[in-house]
Structure 1
Amino acid sequence: MARALIFDMDGILIDSMPHHVKTINRVFGAVGIHLDEQTIYDMEGSRTVDIVTHILKRKNIDPGSLDIEGLLAQYQEEFKRTASFRPFEQIRAILPELKEHFLISMVSGADRTIVNHIVDDFFPGIFDAVISGEDVIKGKPEPEPFLKASRMLEVNPRECIVVENATKGVEAAKRAGMYCVAVPTYVSPDKLEGADRIFEDHGKLAQYLLSLK
């Protein structure tokens, strides 16, 4: 029986990935580097630093030749300043009701300042545990972020249901031994085939989550 629901942030709670892509490319474009949009979507769920490092290596660019830390700090500030967030209301609306029956956590690969900003603005008082990309050593697709959430919630991984929309996130959830449901927000459904259940949109996902009570 499920005791905890663990939500990804980008693409599940907030429609924000297009803003991430634009901001990353604006910052790295200033130093002459374009990061492929679809690759960023395919790697969604991973820590931002891991996404950037992976793409640079694919372009045969040595990450050590750039001030990655400085560029990512600039990206964080630029993102917070310019991004226009839109919560997925079908999910946000049911969170208070779900909180009456389950422990609720957020596990994101995004940077801590961005995660805190979104939680404070849109989901105050909802989450019993929040994990950002900077709170783990190995981000998704490694299981560490989800396992850390289960420890913070003091529940067995088998008692957790993960709600994801990214290939790396689904892989991480299953490697953590958790049940995983998914919705294809930014990728095609076939890329989420590792999930236990896939819902075509956030409305049907919300109906399912409410049925778990």
Structure 2
Amino acid sequence: MFKGIVFDSDGVLVNSMPFHAKAWVEVFAEYGIEVTEEDIYEIEGSNHVGVINIFFGRAGRTPEPGIYDEILEKKRTHFLENNRAEVFEGMYECLLSLKGNFKLAVASGADRTIVTSLMDKFYPGIFDVIISGEDVKNGKPDPEPYEKAIAKLGLSKDECLVVENAPLGVESAKNAGVFCVGVPTYLDEIKLQQADLVVKNHAELIDCLTGLRDYFA
């Protein structure tokens, strides 16, 4: 029986990935590395260390130790200055209705400043736990983000459900041994085929989550 639900943030709770993607593209260009927005969607969920390692590696380069914080700060600044993210329709009301019956958490690959600013704006008072990309040593697809969120909720993996929209996030949830629902926000649903259940869109996701709520009503 599920007692907790852990959500990815970008692409699940907030339609913010286009602004993350643009920020990464602009910042990597400053370092002479060509990256497309589609490239970013493909590795969505990884924390900043993972993202930097991936694209520097593809360019045949090795990041210097001090460059991680430098790039993170530039990316964060770009995102916050250009962010026009919006909440997905119906998600706040859905989570508000779930809160009485479930412990709720966020496990995101984004940095804490961005995650908390988005959650404070769109989902104030909803979440019991928020895990950012800076709170873990190993980002998605490593299981650490979801394992840490579940541990902080005080639950077992069998008592939790994960909601994800990205391949690396789904892989992270499954590596943690957690049931995963996938919602294809920016990529084709076939990219989420490792999930235990894939819904067609956010409307169907809300129906799924409302069904869980009604079970406890």
TM-score interval, normalised by the smaller of the two chains? over 0.9
What is the CA distance between 1:116 and its match in structure 2? Answer: 1.1
- Cα distance in 2 for partners of 1:79, 1:211 equals 35
Aligned to 1:129: 129
Aligned pair 1:210/2:210, yes or no?
yes
Render the CA deviation track for 1:151-186: whole Å, top value 9, x for unaligned. 111011111000000101111111111110011111
Deviation larger for 144-153 or 46-55: 46-55
Q: Figure out how many residues of one structure are paired with residues of the other and give that number.
A: 213
Deviation larger for 25-34 or 189-198: 25-34
- Cα distance in 2 for partners of 1:34, 1:68 equals 18
What are the ranges of 5 or more consecutive residues in structure 1 without an aligned counterpart?
Answer: none
One-letter code aligned to 1:199: V
Aligned to 1:83: 83
What are the ranges of 5 or more consecutive residues in structure 2 without an aligned counterpart?
Answer: none
Render the CA deviation track for 1:12-35: whole Å, top value 9, x for unaligned. 001111111111122222333222
Aligned to 1:101: 101
Other structure's SS at 2:181 match: strand
- Cα distance in 1 for partners of 2:21, 2:86 equals 15
Aligned pair 1:15/2:15, yes or no?
yes
- Cα distance in 2 for partners of 1:66, 1:172 equals 27
TM-score by length of 1: 0.96
Render the CA deviation track for 1:19-63: whole Å, top value 9, x for unaligned. 111111222223332223222111111112211220111111222
Aligned to 1:153: 153
Render the CA deviation track for 1:79-104: whole Å, top value 9, x for unaligned. 11211111112222211100011000
- Cα distance in 2 for partners of 1:81, 1:59 equals 28
Aligned to 2:74: 74
One-letter code aligned to 1:86: E
Report if aligned partners of 2:33, 2:55 keep a CA contact under 8 Å in 1. no
- Cα distance in 2 for partners of 1:21, 1:196 equals 27
TM-score by length of 2: 0.94
